[in-house]
Amino acid sequence: MRRPRKQVTAAIRDERGQIMPLLALGVLLVMLGFAALAIDVGHAYFAQRQLQASADAAALAGAQVLPDIGAATSLAQQFGPAGKNAPHGVGNVQTSITTECLPNAIGCAPANAVVVTETAQMPTTFAGLFGLGSMTIHAKATACSPCGQKPLDVMLVLDRTGSMCTTSTGAPDPACTDMNNARNGMKTFLSLMDPEQDHVGLAVLPPATSVAARCAASSSSSYDSKASPYVIVPLSDDYLVDGGQLNTNSDLVSTINCVQAGGNTSYATAIDQAQDELVRDGRPGVQKVIVFLSDGAANYGPSFYPNSSPYRTTPCHQGGASAAAAAGAGTLVYAIGYDVGHDVCKGYNATTKTFTNEVPAIEAEQALEGIAGDPSRFYNQPTAGQLDTIYTSVAADLLYGHSKLVDNS
Hey, is 143 helix, strand or coil? strand
Half-sphere exposure of 153 (CA within 13 A, CB side): 19
* Range 26-56 burial, b when 16+ CB lie within 10 A, else e: eeeeeeeeeebeeebeebbebbbebbbebbb
Residue by residue, DSSP assigns 286-309 as SEEEEEEEESS------TTS-TTS
* Dist CA 264 CA 166 (whole Å): 13
Domain ranges (residues) in the chain: 5-144, 152-402
376-390: b or e for each residue (b if 16 or more CB lie within 10 Å)?
Answer: ebbbebeebeebbeb
Q: Which are the contacts of 165, defined by CB distance < 8 A and separation ≥ 6?
A: 172, 173, 174, 176, 178, 179, 261
pLDDT at 169: 80
pLDDT-derived band at 402, boundaries 50, 70, 90: confident
- Give the model's pLDDT for residue 295: 94
pLDDT at 4: 57
Structure confidence by residue, pLDDT tens digits, 17-31: 556 565 555 555 555
Other C-beta atoms closer than 10 Å to the C-beta of 95 total 20
Query: What pLDDT is stored for residue 408 in this prediction?
Result: 61
Spatial separation of the C-alpha atoms in residues 45 and 249, rounded to whole Å: 45
Q: In whole angstroms, what is the distance from residue 137 CA to residue 121 CA?
A: 6
Lowest mean per-residue pLDDT among 6-10, 257-261, 328-332: 6-10
Q: How far is CA 156 from CA 159, 200, 230, 291, 345, in A?
A: 10, 7, 11, 5, 22
Q: What's the rounded Cα separation, in Å, for the pair 34 and 213?
A: 72
Nearest to 89, CA basis, from 138, 27, 44:
44
Given a cut of 70, whether residue 284 has pLDDT beyond it is yes
DSSP string, 207-261: PPS-GGGTTS---GGGGG-TT--SEEEEEES-SB-TTS-B-TTSHHHHHHHH---
Q: Regarding predicted confidence, which is higher, 216 or 45?
A: 216
Q: What is the pLDDT of residue 35?
A: 59
Q: Where residue 136 falls among pLDDT bands split at 50, 70, 90?
A: confident
Lowest-confidence segment of 137-146, 221-230, 276-285, 400-409 by average pLDDT: 400-409
Task: Classify domain 152-402 by CATH number.
Answer: 3.40.50.410
Cβ–Cβ < 8 Å for 232, 203: yes
pLDDT in tens, 101-128: 988 777 777 898 999 999 987 777 665 5
Beta bridge partners, 408, equal 141
Q: How far apart are CA 178 and CA 63, in angstroms?
A: 35
